[in-house]
Chain A
Amino acid sequence: DAGVIQSPRHEVTEMGQEVTLRCKPISGHNSLFWYRQTMMRGLELLIYFNNNVPIDDSGMPEDRFSAKMPNASFSTLKIQPSEPRDSAVYFCASSYTNEKLFFGSGTQLSVL
């Protein structure tokens, strides 16, 4: 298996623009997680899905952030409008029935 695939690897955008991050989990995994990593706050769980249903979005910082999982093989994290403080590395991870998390390589987001 190719592992968890995230795109793009790097995104540079201007404040106020919409940003969409994409994730393809490992086939057969039933849980998907979005994490954000910054120097100041470390690794934070934003939202996680189980069987394509959002289970806990308490980590989503504000209404500018939204996440969807229309099917078992695809998820998006959208930021609209983006702000400089959103600059971070965003990781997607997937797992199967409470086993270990498999992380993608992340998307480095820079909002200017």
Chain B
Amino acid sequence: AQSVTQLGSHVSVSEGALVLLRCNYSSSVPPYLFWYVQYPNQGLQLLLKYTSAATLVKGINGFEAEFKKSETSFHLTKPSAHMSDAAEYFCAVGPGGGNKLTFGTGTQLKVEL
């Protein structure tokens, strides 16, 4: 079975500050890992995905994530937060590709002036 754990259901940062959203995974097979973002009243949108190529994955809107097998982590970062980044972020794991993903419980990001 595969699962992800997102540490911190709510994260608050100042505009311009570093964003760090944590995700740890559990998988008995090499995982495919994803970060999705959900803006209010919308469906989820893919930010980035790791599919066993480069361990540092760059996504849209300046976000990136690093796959660390030794730590079973896939944390999401952005060097400088913008007000428009305020949303809920979901980490997800799949056995291969994008099908049958298991999502984490989400982290609500708040960006303050």
Contact = CB atoms under 8 A, between A and B. Distances in A.
Contacts of A105: 41-43
Given A98-B98, A99-B97, A99-B98, A42 B46 contact: no
Which of A43, A50, A95, A97 has most B Cβ within 10 Å? Answer: A43
Contacts of B45: 103
A48 B101 CA distance: 11
In the complex, which range does the number of interface residues on chain B fall in?
20 to 34
A103 B43 contact: yes
Contact of A106 (B36, B43, B46): B43
Contacts of A102: 43
Label chain A's interface by main secondary structure. strand
B99 A48 contact: yes
A71 B57 CA distance: 36
Interface stretch (B10-18, B66-74, B75-83, B103-111): B103-111
Nearest to B6: A42
Contact of B43 (A4, A95, A99): A4
**Majority DSSP secondary structure for residues of B touching A:** loop
B106 A101 contact: no
Nearest to B90: A43
Interface in A18-34: 31, 33
A98 B101 contact: no
A45 B100 contact: yes
A93 interface: yes
A100 interface: yes
B46 A101 contact: yes
B99 A98 contact: yes
5 contacts: A4-B43, A42-B106, A91-B43, A98-B96, A100-B46
Interface of A: 4, 31, 33, 42-43, 45, 48, 50, 56, 91, 93, 95, 97-106
Given A33-B100, A42-B104, A95-B99, 14 more contacts: A42-B106, A43-B90, A45-B102, A48-B99, A91-B43, A93-B44, A95-B98, A98-B97, A98-B98, A100-B98, A102-B43, A103-B45, A106-B41, A106-B43
